[in-house]
Structure 1
Amino acid sequence: MTLTISGSALVTGASRGLGAQIARRLAADGWPVAVNYRSDRPGAEKVVADILAEGGRAAAFGADVTAEAEVPALVAAVAAELGPVQVVVANATGPQPLAPAAEVTWQDHLNQLTFFVKSPTLLLTAVLPGMRELGTGRFIHIGSDSFERALPGASAYNAAKGAQLGLARTWARELGRYGITVNVVAPGWIPVERHGVVTEEDSAGYVRDVPLGRLGRPEDIADVVAFVASDASRFVTGERVTVNGGHTID
């Protein structure tokens, strides 16, 4: 089945960072892009302005994608303005505090599961009728190589990322019959605004273990997401594509 652009792409948490770059990249490929934000409206509007300036089509949509009452309304608003949602990039995330195992609470786990299991579940429930009607769709989770690296202090985050992968693989089996693919794009360390200023000294230890010899950039992730959203990935589903310069090669 050839994927044609007959709907829109919804990128959650797209007012800055990876989400903003992903939104711009999908728009460059011709997708009408819904730039979702929770509180950073100026950031989202700047992303939309950038897309419009390049001749693309986009609009900003404020919604908390972890809130059961807000996600259906978000998807309906996107469909009304840009067309039915054909691509979802589940990028939105929250704080990721580090804590040793002895101090991790169940609430810490719930906080991470809210973004990486609850939010995608709400999004899929809302977009699935439209994707089934179109006969095609792409659901793309933004994961993390932290799951493979098993970073100490990040047990709640890593456990949620593991759950995210299980969710994606199971959905891929269930939804393939409808022409819908489900994949995970898993970045390594990609410094963005929330990381503040990252100096060469700060990153030297990390870069030493990266075969390609540099930190990742947001466009590295956006290009892979664009591939997964395109017809070029038509026979790829249930996969986790790690984008980290080879940092986790066994």
Structure 2
Amino acid sequence: MGVALVTGASRGLGAEIARRLAGDGWAVAVNYLPDRADAERVVAAIVAGGGVAEAFRADVTDETAVAALVAHVEDRLGPVRVLVPNATGPQPSKPALEVSWSDHLDQLRFFVKSPTLLMHAVMPAMRRLGGGRIVQIGSDMPERAEPGMSAYAAAKAAQMSLTRTWARELGPLGVTVNLVAPGWIPVERHAAVAAEHVDAYRRDVPLGRMGTPAEVADVVAFLASDDARFVTGERITVNGGHTLG
């Protein structure tokens, strides 16, 4: 099938997406930054299941590092046909009156700068191959307008604008660009969240439960597949109807 590069794939949603794509037959480049052990566990699970994967360390907000990452992936696994910019950083809650420009830049670095650097790095191979898939991992936060999350929500809204514009510009090159927007999907980073907060969120979900990383990964896998060959510029929300209003 080809190579899929998933950033921030050593744990959480990224790890589940990497495992799902590998299960579909993609050779997966598991990008990580802080902890190689977590990435190696993801790779080991994929290989144990008969898949192909390797771990690649890189700061995907750094231009030089991104260029080197994609070159390394191409050398080890082959050209990238599917790009999933998933890496994220801290998402602190802060009142709007205390949010600084630096706070905005922290979020834009992950959700605008990093996807842009990655897109630039993978496009030469995608053009040679006659197409590819870019599947961004967004959020339903712009619709939720949750107090304290203005910097994060603004960056996620910008990421969706990138997706739509890229879909128009890259479509003639055979590249589809879509965005998957999860609601709150509990992963490792949410281990300390109090049960009452989880219960309060769950009560507002029409389907009556929390979503799982696998349910996000399923949608990413669809958009990466040939079944989605005529889908581009779309935002698919995976939140059990939480933002229906």
Deviation of residue 198 (structure 1)?
4.8
Matched, 1:243 2:238: yes
Question: Which residue of structure 2 aligns with residue 196 of structure 1?
Answer: 191
Which of 90, 93, 105 is the equivalent residue of 2:100?
105
Distance (Å, rounded) in 2 between the aligned partners of 1:25 and 1:239: 21
Question: Which residue of structure 2 aligns with residue 182 of structure 1?
Answer: 177
Matched, 1:137 2:132: yes
Deviation of residue 16 (structure 1)?
0.3
Matched, 1:232 2:236: no
Residue 53 of structure 1 aligns with an amino acid whose one-letter code is A
Question: Which residue of structure 2 aligns with residue 92 of structure 1?
Answer: 87
User: Helix, strand or coil: the match of 1:59?
Assistant: strand
Distance (Å, rounded) in 2 between the aligned partners of 1:238 and 1:28: 25
Matched, 1:208 2:210: no
Distance (Å, rounded) in 1 between the aligned partners of 2:195 and 2:97: 33
Deviation of residue 199 (structure 1)?
5.9
Describe the shift of the 1:199–1:101 C-alpha distance in structure 2 as closer, same or farther (beyond 3 A): closer
Question: Which residue of structure 2 aligns with residue 120 of structure 1?
Answer: 115
User: Helix, strand or coil: the match of 2:161?
Assistant: helix
Residue 159 of structure 2 aligns with an amino acid whose one-letter code is Q
* Equivalences, count: 245
Contact 1:191/1:198, CA 8 A, preserved across alignment: no
Which of 207, 223, 244 is the equivalent residue of 2:218?
223
Deviation >4 Å, runs of 4+: 197-200
Residue 107 of structure 2 aligns with an amino acid whose one-letter code is Q
Deviation of residue 208 (structure 1)?
1.0
Distance (Å, rounded) in 1 between the aligned partners of 2:16 and 2:210: 16
Question: Which residue of structure 2 aligns with residue 73 of structure 1?
Answer: 68
Question: Which residue of structure 2 aligns with residue 147 of structure 1?
Answer: 142
> Unaligned regions of 5+ residues in structure 2, if any?
none
Q: What RMSD over aligned residues (CA atoms) do the two structures have, in Å?
A: 0.9
User: Helix, strand or coil: the match of 2:64?
Assistant: coil
Deviation of residue 202 (structure 1)?
3.1
Which of 155, 163, 172 is the equivalent residue of 1:160?
155
TM-score for both structures, normalised by structure 2:
0.98
Distance (Å, rounded) in 2 between the aligned partners of 1:27 and 1:244: 24
Q: Deviations over 1:84-137 (max 9, x none)?
A: 000011000000111111100000000000000000010011000000111111
Residue 115 of structure 1 aligns with an amino acid whose one-letter code is F
Distance (Å, rounded) in 2 between the aligned partners of 1:229 and 1:184: 11
> Unaligned regions of 5+ residues in structure 1, if any?
none
Q: Deviations over 1:57-79 (max 9, x none)?
A: 00000000000110011001101
User: Helix, strand or coil: the match of 1:61?
Assistant: strand
Distance (Å, rounded) in 1 between the aligned partners of 2:131 and 2:27: 16
Q: Deviations over 1:144-198 (max 9, x none)?
A: 1111101111110000001100011000000001110001100000110011145
Contact 1:85/1:131, CA 8 A, preserved across alignment: yes
Distance (Å, rounded) in 2 between the aligned partners of 1:197 and 1:214: 19
Which of 49, 56, 73 is the equivalent residue of 1:61?
56
